[in-house]
Structure 1
Amino acid sequence: MYTYLLFIHILSAVTAIVAIMGTPLIMSGVRTTGQAKFGLALQDKLAILPKIGGTLLILSGLGLGFLQTYLFREMWYVVSIALFFVILIIVAVMLPSGMRKQLVLLQQTQGESLPDTYRQSRRRSAWLEGIANLAVFISIILMVFKPF
């Protein structure tokens, strides 16, 4: 059972992580209102991947912990779970809120030039995406190297 859960855990991590790390790449090339609208629409479609992957990730991770109860006494495991919740708050709550705000700003824009209000909102989203990516990176390090 442990091997199957580990397989699901790794597969779900890849699914969730690719979408989380791909978001900044999609939006970094945006230069016009049309491109920004397309990028936000693409992000909206890709948002299902971290939701499915993240749900399976936490369930399989906790399942692994229940099969190997000593994991709940391992600091790397507890910190990984805490980081997951930071990532979850950013990806499931904060970023979608910013995306909705950005879309409203773009719909009010005439022409193809990106408004300053959009750029400010996008900078906040990019900052949050950076934090989420850093948390993902630290989680991977913790799970692979188990430093403490």
Structure 2
Amino acid sequence: MYNYLLFIHILSAVTAIAAVICYPIIMSSARTVGQTKFALSLLEKTAILPKLGGTLLLLTGLAIGFQETYLFREQWYVASIVVFFIILVIFARLLPVGNKQQLKLLQQTQGDDLPEAYRLSRRRSALLEAVAILAVFVSILLMVFKP
């Protein structure tokens, strides 16, 4: 059973991490109002990936922990769960709110130039994305090296 859980855990991590890394890549390529609206709608459609991958990641990680109960006494394991929740808050709550706000700003825009209010909101989202990517990196380090 452990190997099956580990396989699903790793597959879930790949799914969630790929989505996390793609967010800033997709958004940095948008240069006009039309492109940005498309990028935001694309992110809205792909938002299921970090949610699904993250949920499976948490469930399989905890299931592995319940099979190997000593893990709950390991600092790297507990730290991985804490880091996971940081990523979860960013991608399940903070970024979707920011994306909706940005889309609302773009709906009110005439022309194809991105308004300054959008750029400011986007900078906040980019900072959150950077924090999430750093958290993913720390999470991977914790799981691979188990310090």
Q: What TM-score do the two structures reach when normalised by structure 1? A: 0.99
The CA distance in 2 between the partners of 1:70 and 1:145, in whole Å, is 17
Report the Cα offset of residue 127 of structure 1: 0.1
The size of the alignment, in residue pairs, is: 147
The CA distance in 2 between the partners of 1:96 and 1:141, in whole Å, is 27
When the two chains are superposed, the root-mean-square deviation of aligned CA atoms in Å is 0.4
The CA distance in 2 between the partners of 1:121 and 1:94, in whole Å, is 12
Structure 2 unaligned residues grouped into runs of 5+: none
The CA distance in 2 between the partners of 1:30 and 1:56, in whole Å, is 31
The equivalent of 1:98 in structure 2 is 98
The equivalent of 2:136 in structure 1 is 136
The CA distance in 2 between the partners of 1:38 and 1:113, in whole Å, is 15
The CA distance in 2 between the partners of 1:122 and 1:67, in whole Å, is 42
1:6 alignment partner AA: L
**Counterparts in 2 of 1:29-108, with a 5 A limit?**
29-108=29-108
Structure 1 residue ranges (4+ consecutive) displaced by more than 4 angstroms after TM superposition? none
The CA distance in 2 between the partners of 1:74 and 1:21, in whole Å, is 28
The equivalent of 1:123 in structure 2 is 123
Structure 1 unaligned residues grouped into runs of 5+: none
1:60 alignment partner AA: T
Q: Deviations over 1:71-94 (max 9, x none)?
A: 000000000000000000000000
The equivalent of 1:23 in structure 2 is 23
The CA distance in 2 between the partners of 1:87 and 1:142, in whole Å, is 15
Report the Cα offset of residue 30 of structure 1: 1.2
The equivalent of 2:8 in structure 1 is 8
Name the SS for the 2:24 alignment partner.
helix
The CA distance in 1 between the partners of 2:8 and 2:31, in whole Å, is 38
Percent identity reads 67
Q: What TM-score do the two structures reach when normalised by structure 2? A: 0.99
